Structure 1
Amino acid sequence: MAIRICKSLISLLCLAGALSAWPGPAAHADALSNLPSLGDAGGAELSVQDERRLGALIMRDYKAYGAVNSDPEITGYLTKLGAKIAQAAGESPANFEFFLVTDKAINAFAMPGGYIGVHTGLIAAARNESELASVLAHEVGHVTQRHIARRFGQQKQTTMVSAAAMIAAILVASSNPQAATGIMAAGAGYGIDQQLAFSRDAEREADRVGFQTLQSAGFNTQGMVDFFGRLQTASRLYENNAPAYLRTHPLTTERIADIRNRVGIDAGKGVRPPAPLDFELLRMKALVYGDKSNQQWSDRLKALSSPNEQDGFTNPIALEYGKSLVYANLLKKREAQEAADRSLELFRQSMAGKPVIAPLMLQSQVIETRLDAAYPSSQQALNVGSPKLVADLNNDGKVVLALLERLKNDYRNELSAKVLYADGLQRLGLFQQSDTYLRDLTQIYRSNPQLFELLSQSALALGKRADHHLYLAQSYSLRGAYLPAIEQTQIAKQYAQDNYYLLAEIDAKQREYKRKADEEREYLKASGNGP
């Protein structure tokens, strides 16, 4: 049942905007003056606050089922790209959260409250940044025009918690039907197909607004034509066995022709410039994420060893990088390290004589493979013995530390580089250094649960048990798990003993988590789902 519901509804959700659901991106504003305007946000019955709360509830269920991929490099990229698009749409990037979903399907979706999910399959299928940006701009259009809020506001009898459970279930069902059954049951009786379907006018408005946003952000609108052209070809190849999003919203020749006319460019002519290396590496990582078994990884290795233009990957640097990712999945640590080293060396050869910094993803993979070979986890470092000093490291450890320092300096504004640096310090056993570094970092990134989780590990290694449990509590709270957070603060109190200042901090955090838990309980009760 879960599969049937997913296939029939996924493209209709106000999560929607499955890529294939677009009737066709629009062109210049004056050429689209005849497209509908559904009114301003003031007409929506669902408030901005309630819409955000609904989105948060969905995300909590969605993340609980492991559907969100927290890869810091791709997530960081999506966040920056999404922020650029949001700003071009006249919105604050703080009102959006872009996240990654490990799924081969070419899809993206917008959820209530500005949460926008992007499948790894979509990133892998996009040949350049403009193509990917065109999808995000469409999804941002659904959010800014508050299509989701209007649709929910029309059905007062529907509780938002039931809606959240159903939406999360449908999303999870696309890749894990069995896991979705539980939360699907929580929304039983909810007329999801009637509640969440976008109207044609809403789709057309999202196209118009999205296209204008894409132009304002400075992207090449030709990307829309190219992407839809390939999807049209894919729909013909799939024929009757096409995926649900193509069957529900077929990409017709007339639609593609209309897009070309609006853009004002013949997509069949001209030579497309090659994608920048950074984007190719991003696509490659997303592509490899789609493979899940030894057989699939072995097949991927063969494909990377005999690339062709149809696959869209011909750059030898990206190909070696992809091999390294696959070897790492196969637990072939030496081969993974050698391929990562080759990819970096090929880059340096291509940039001979030019003062260019190696791409973040290349440097990160070189470090990851070296760490995996000799320092698999911070937990292992904890088990080895007491925290180390730099002077205690062997030659290999000092080489890895130097690579970590270079990465941190080359990419001082990239969160993924900071996370890898902190994790690398711990895996090397340098817990005092990681503790100092993470304490400063969490003052800047106060809403990142991963950083607080890493900080809790450093505190544990240093024998700071009260701090360990307090940081774990902060990590739980940032994930919306307030009851476990309260439990951790209670444990932290037992270790704080006579430390008055630490006890005061723990008490303050505990009151904060209790307040949030009470607010959530009252919200659920008011929405008809509380005790």
Structure 2
Amino acid sequence: MSNIFLHSKASKALRVLSLSSTLLAHSAAGAASLDLPKIGETAGSTLSVAKEQQIGDQIMRQIRRSEYLMKDPIVTDYIQQLGYRLVAANPDALGRQFQFFVIQENSINAFALPGGYIGLHSGLITASQSESELASVVGHEVAHVTQRHLARRLEAQNELSIPSILGLIGSVLAATQDPEAGMAGIAATQAAGKQSIINHTRDNEKEADRIGITMLSSAGFDVRAAADFFETLQNASRYTFKPPEILLTHPLSRNRIAAARERAELYPEVEHQDSVDYRLVKSRIESKTLINDKEKFRQLTAKAQSDKLSDLGERYLYAELLKSKGRFNPAIKVLTSLYKNNEGNQLLLFSLAEAHLAQDSGAEMLPLLETQLIKHPDSTKLILATSEIYLKTDKVDKAEKLLLRYVDVNRNNPNYLKLLAEAQAEAGHTPEMYETTGQYLLLLGDLRTAKQHFELALHATSEDPYAQTRIQARLEEVKQKMRAQLEAKTRR
């Protein structure tokens, strides 16, 4: 891998818990460029969808630098595809940008940020009892975005200043990791704590429930799952003092389950079968929490030796734990068997390629990967797995060409850009590597280092006739953001 990344501040992970304070500084800096409401001016007159998107972009740049953001391509790709399926079933969502991501956190929570960014805690995924339950939560958050509930909550106060906007957004972000602290921040920001604000939030929940169930039905999921998941949440808190985190940010009233059940009766009953990927993703996430659980591994090993690992999820969990312990040969054996029983499954194929790569036998996977890429040429999972093996087997040109083919689709995927920069560096395409690295760093909010890379790209010689114009535009974008940050610091 090119050592260009070793000099980047972006390599230093930031904790999500510290993001709210960082966010306020960055958002305050962005306020100048976003032309947010002036102090005393209401949000409704100026907070457009475009500006909401820019605020969300700022928040997401901070989250991407967090050690809590799950960067696993399998989990990320699955939740993106699930989210897009629900977005496609909501006419109000089709004109907006959505990005779905997962926070590595065992608690049960989900949240929507400005600009269509929707996050799920990994604990929520593993707590769900069906794919329809998981989809019901994702659909609910999509509805919060399409109905602009955050903006509407802000507008519910007659006088909403910049500190109010930034304070509330910072509190929402803090709530992704510490809901009690986040909700306390929201309460402090809303100083008066007017009943109208609370009622408005309850109305938002009702509206999101209604629209979410409609989405579930249109996307082919079981509409009864929304109420089922409410009951899952209730059961999770029955014997504990502290309720699941999602209930602190999404209040669950006594009538809400009944209302969801009644609404579900209005739609045709669908017996949705959980996808193979849903079951595998749950096991993949679980393997990360059990990596140091010796007793669980011992139990799975005993079941494997007596050929009692009959469940797909359990067998995949065992394979992932084997990989985490460096036991690649037995992991490959289990994964090969699983793939034979689920031929064409990209998730299992990616996992198998991971194991082969880890023990330097990736070349064995190329024929199978290349065959599947012909059938699914735009599969991010397959592109990443194949490109990794190309790089490992000195097929650098093939890796670069494959990654460039779909770089526009993956322009917001840091892992994708990082691998492309590595391929460009090894191929000797230094100007292109500088540009790609700049884009990667810009996604992570490391403006100073991104600027340095764009300047290096601008002064290098590239075969691309449009490179200079494109890079200059990127450089101006970074400079503008840096000026806004400097102005904000000066004002403080």
Q: TM-score, normalized by length of structure 2? A: 0.76
Give the C-alpha shift of residue 413 in structure 1. Answer: 3.3
2:299 alignment counterpart: 302
CA distance in 2, matches of 1:306, 1:241: 35
DSSP-derived class of the 2:378 partner: coil
Residue 514 in 1 paired to residue 475 in 2? Answer: yes
Letter of the 1:516 partner, please give it.
Answer: E
CA distance in 2, matches of 1:167, 1:450: 26
DSSP-derived class of the 1:110 partner: strand
Residue 341 in 1 paired to residue 336 in 2? Answer: yes
Is 252-261 or 466-475 further displaced after alignment?
252-261
1:484 alignment counterpart: 449
Alpha-carbon spacing, 1:285–1:303, altered in 2? closer, same or farther (3 Å): same
Deviations 1:350-409 (A, max 9, x none): xxxxxxx331111111111111112xxxxxxxxxxxxxxxxxxxxx45422223323423
Alpha-carbon spacing, 1:331–1:87, altered in 2? closer, same or farther (3 Å): same
CA distance in 2, matches of 1:500, 1:256: 60
CA distance in 1, matches of 2:339, 2:57: 40
Give the C-alpha shift of residue 523 in structure 1. Answer: 5.5
Q: Does the 8 Å contact 1:101/1:117 carry over to 2?
A: yes
Alpha-carbon spacing, 1:200–1:410, altered in 2? closer, same or farther (3 Å): same
Q: Does the 8 Å contact 2:16/2:174 carry over to 1?
A: no
Residue 122 in 1 paired to residue 124 in 2? Answer: yes
Give the C-alpha shift of residue 461 in structure 1. Answer: 1.7
Alpha-carbon spacing, 1:151–1:44, altered in 2? closer, same or farther (3 Å): farther
CA distance in 2, matches of 1:171, 1:46: 23
CA distance in 2, matches of 1:306, 1:246: 37
Q: Does the 8 Å contact 1:62/1:168 carry over to 2?
A: no
Residue 454 in 1 paired to residue 419 in 2? Answer: yes
The correspondence for 2:148, drawn from 124, 146, 149, is: 146
Bigger RCO (CA 8 Å, 6+ sep): 2
Unaligned segments of structure 1, at least 5 residues? 7-41, 308-312, 349-356, 375-395
The correspondence for 1:156, drawn from 155, 160, 167, is: 160
Unaligned segments of structure 2, at least 5 residues? 1-14, 20-42
Give the C-alpha shift of residue 193 in structure 1. Answer: 9.9
Letter of the 1:360 partner, please give it.
Answer: Q
Deviations 1:218-255 (A, max 9, x none): 3220212322233332222x232544445787867764
Letter of the 2:425 partner, please give it.
Answer: L
Residue 368 in 1 paired to residue 350 in 2? Answer: no
Deviations 1:478-499 (A, max 9, x none): 44444322201333456x3xx4
Letter of the 1:340 partner, please give it.
Answer: L
1:95 alignment counterpart: 97
The number of aligned residues is: 442
Letter of the 1:365 partner, please give it.
Answer: S
Alpha-carbon spacing, 1:427–1:407, altered in 2? closer, same or farther (3 Å): farther
2:107 alignment counterpart: 105
Residue 358 in 1 paired to residue 344 in 2? Answer: yes
1:132 alignment counterpart: 134
Alpha-carbon spacing, 1:519–1:315, altered in 2? closer, same or farther (3 Å): farther
Q: TM-score, normalized by length of structure 1? A: 0.71
CA distance in 2, matches of 1:4, 1:439: 35
Residue 318 in 1 paired to residue 295 in 2? Answer: no
Deviations 1:484-522 (A, max 9, x none): 22201333456x3xx4756x7554344223321344356
Residue 77 in 1 paired to residue 72 in 2? Answer: no
Residue 281 in 1 paired to residue 280 in 2? Answer: yes
2:58 alignment counterpart: 57
Give the C-alpha shift of residue 526 in structure 1. Answer: 8.4
1:437 alignment counterpart: 402
Alpha-carbon spacing, 1:250–1:420, altered in 2? closer, same or farther (3 Å): same
Q: Does the 8 Å contact 1:405/1:421 carry over to 2?
A: yes
DSSP-derived class of the 1:95 partner: coil
Letter of the 1:278 partner, please give it.
Answer: D
The correspondence for 1:225, drawn from 219, 224, 227, is: 227
